[in-house]
Amino acid sequence: MGGPFAPGNRVYVTRTLALAAALLAAALAFVVFLQFGASDGFDAFDPLRAGLIFASTFWLAWGAFTALAGLTTKPPAVPRDPGPIRAMTAVLVPVYNEDPVATFARIAAMDASLRATGFGDRFHFAILSDTRNDEVAARERIWFLRLLADTHGEGRIFYRRRTNNKGRKAGNIEDFIKRAGAAYTYAIILDADSLMEGATMVEMVRRMEAAPELGLLQTLPKVIRARSRFGRIMQFAGGFYSPVFARGLAMMQGRTGPFWGHNAITRVRAFAESCGLPELSGPPPFGGHILSHDYVEAALLARAGWTVRVDDDLQGSYEEAPENIIDHAKRDRRWCQGNLQHARLILAPGLKGWSRFVFLQGILAYISPVFWLAFLAASIAAPLFAPPIDYFPIEYWPFPVIPVSQVSKALGLAIGIGGLLFLPKLLILADAALRGRARGFGGGFRALQSTMAELVFSSITAPIFLMFQTRSVLQVLRGADGGWPAQTRGDGTLSFRDAWAASHWIVTSGGTVLAFAQWLSPQLVPWLMPVALPMVLAPVIIALSSRPSRGGLFLTPTEASPAPVMGLHDAVLRRWEGETAPFDAAA
């Protein structure tokens, strides 16, 4: 069937509608603010502030309409090959200064889950170590032998440590494909904290087998095992909201889908032929190896004619996440540098138009907080540049002309921007209640409570994240290379002293904002309190949110009913707990 609702055309219709709606919302915010700002006399700061509002509102509106697309559309059914699996698949687990006990226990659990499907012999695991710490590397070798003994994995589970970690994770995978890729049809790329059901891996292979044009298939990983208040809120938000956003993303990206660097399967030949990454000229942060390689690899696959797709219906794909705001900000710093580095690749020859737009989206994700901060600063300083109010603009008219209050426009703009932030989540809540999906999150009332609490928490922490992201952007722009720090796993509890050490500059910034506002624009102080007060209280918010969560909110399906592979993982860890000391002593 042809027409605008044919599968191929639906992607372009969805893109066009979302883009037009986001631009319209941004233009409306621009006009409304320009009228409000010029009410006390037009000055140079008014178009500047209106322009910042336009850029910021566009980004918020784009996210909101992505969610709306996920709620109102449904991707076409995907083909799958139900026959026996004959292709060989490599499961790649890159590690970098990770705890081998935790990482290898996940591999043992996934291997057991795969063998339970009856297709375990069609999958090999490759542990690709880029570890720079010799002590950790020694533990890796010892625990690898324990992994082999536990799984009888000789000939199916392999380990190698690179002597030179050129290109970091992307270079690690490239090195494997060059050396051993010809032995495999597919490669499932994981992270050290990834966990995936064997049945999910088999299903991914079936979908690849049924679609010869499919170069990469991305799953939507769900966060598991969060313990802190911050971690469990992020875990709930990811499990509750992300499927809808991912569905909207799938509908807009079509064949030019995303790759998030892990929990995805790729066709080895397609990856080998298309995804050789250049080393950019000049020093980091804008030169050197490409940090956010996954977006670039997806773009290169699409350029070569391969389909890249995200299937949000695939279950059984899991990962872990930071347990506190500081660890999240450290990881976000690397992502910020990688996304801003894409500014050098937007005009690369041959890329699809949508791939270029994806690069732009990634840049906007980190530039938008800078726009908001610049808008606040410009608003505080605006009275210094505003012309004096002329109460007698009409010559020879004896009565003063009182300017019409524009407070209603300011309120309307604030409500509109708040709607773009909150309405998508409330619509997702309503959809989950109507479709029964809320049952997995404790039922409709518990899901409502969790959603309201998440909205409050995200509002409180938004100014703190704004400051961390703004600092990251400024660091990159001044040429500071953040490198590739190892991930912090396990208990993320922070003391108040630790939180203060990491965020005292945010406290100073918040106090400075309030002081300048009181001096230059006292009428702005009440409007700035929702932003400045969380900044002043940042150490308290960071420390308290890192503590273990003991409430009944933020329940997720994997907490109520743990996935089978999670149970296998727990069983392996229990077996290995008593052996940790002797194995570490041997290392």
- Write down the pLDDT at residue 396: 60
CATH of the domain at 305: 3.90.550.10
Q: Is residue 320 part of a domain?
A: yes
Q: How far is CA 36 from CA 22, 25, 98, 411, 576, in A?
A: 21, 16, 54, 10, 65
Q: What is the pLDDT of residues 90-138, one digit of tens each?
A: 999 999 999 999 999 999 999 999 999 999 999 999 999 999 999 999 9
Q: Is residue 159 part of a domain?
A: yes
The domain total for the chain is: 1
Q: Is residue 169 part of a domain?
A: yes
Strand pairing class (264-267; 307-310): unpaired
Q: Is residue 6 part of a domain?
A: no
For the ranges 159-168, 188-197, 515-524, the lowest mean pLDDT is seen at 515-524
Residue 504, CA atoms < 13 Å, CB-side half-sphere: 5
Q: Is residue 319 part of a domain?
A: yes
Give the structural domain span for 235: 89-335
- Write down the pLDDT at residue 491: 74
How far is Cα 31 from Cα 53, in angstroms, rounded to an integer? Answer: 10
Residue type, 170: A
Instruction: Output DSSP code: residue 152.
Output: T
**Residue pointed to by tokens 């032998």:** 145
Q: Is residue 18 part of a domain?
A: no
Q: Is residue 189 part of a domain?
A: yes
pLDDT at 520 over 90: no
- Average pLDDT score, the chain: 89
Q: What is the mean pLDDT of residues 514-538?
A: 90
User: Which of 491, 509, 269 lies closest to 369 in space, CA to CA?
Assistant: 509
Instruction: Output DSSP code: residue 220.
Output: -
- Write down the pLDDT at residue 375: 86
Interior CA angle at 386 toward 381 and 389, to 5°? 140
Q: What is the pLDDT of residues 31-74, one digit of tens each?
A: 888 877 666 566 677 888 889 889 989 999 999 999 999 999 87
Which helix (DSSP H) or strand (DSSP E) does residue 520 occupy? helix 496-520
Q: Is residue 187 part of a domain?
A: yes
Q: What is the pLDDT of residues 368-410, one digit of tens each?
A: 999 988 888 888 877 776 655 554 455 665 554 444 444 555 6
Q: What is the mean pLDDT of residues 486-505?
A: 87
